Amino acid sequence: MSQAGEKGAGVRLPGAGALLLVAMAGLVVLAVNLHSGEGRAAATSPTPARYDVEWDIQLPENLHPGGTGHIRAEAILTEPSFVGTGPYHDPWYALTITDTDPVVELRSLPVVAPADVADGAEWNLRRIRPGEATIEISLTYKQSWCYPCDTHYYTHTTTRTLTVAPLPGDANCDLATNSIDAALILQLSAAMVSELPCEDAADVNQDGSVNAIDSFLILQLAVRPPDSLSP
- Encode pLDDT of 136-179 as tens digits: 999 998 887 665 567 788 899 999 999 888 888 888 888 778 88
**Residue 23: pLDDT above 50?**
yes
Q: What is the mean pLDDT of residues 112-126?
A: 92
Q: What percentage of residues in the chain have a pLDDT greater than 90?
A: 23
- How far apart (Å, rounded) are the C-alpha atoms in residues 111 and 52? 21
Would you call 207 exposed, middle or buried from its count of C-beta atoms within 10 A (0-12, 13-18, 19+)?
Answer: exposed
pTM above 0.75, yes or no: no
Distance of CA 108 to the CA centre of its chain: 17
- How far apart (Å, rounded) are the C-alpha atoms in residues 95 and 110? 5
Give tens-digit pLDDT for 41-61: 344 445 556 788 999 999 998
- How far apart (Å, rounded) are the C-alpha atoms in residues 136 and 162? 11
- 183-191 LR contacts (CB < 8 Å, sep 24+): 183/215, 185/210, 185/211, 185/212, 185/214, 185/215, 185/218, 186/212, 186/215, 189/215
Strands of the sheet with 121-126, listed across from one edge: 52-58, 69-78, 121-126, 105-106
pLDDT confidence band for 70 (50 / 70 / 90)? very high
- How far apart (Å, rounded) are the C-alpha atoms in residues 141 and 154? 6
Do the Cβ atoms of 122 and 116 come closer than 8 Å? no
pLDDT at 83: 54
- How far apart (Å, rounded) are the C-alpha atoms in residues 149 and 152? 10
- How far apart (Å, rounded) are the C-alpha atoms in residues 64 and 60? 10
pLDDT at 121: 95
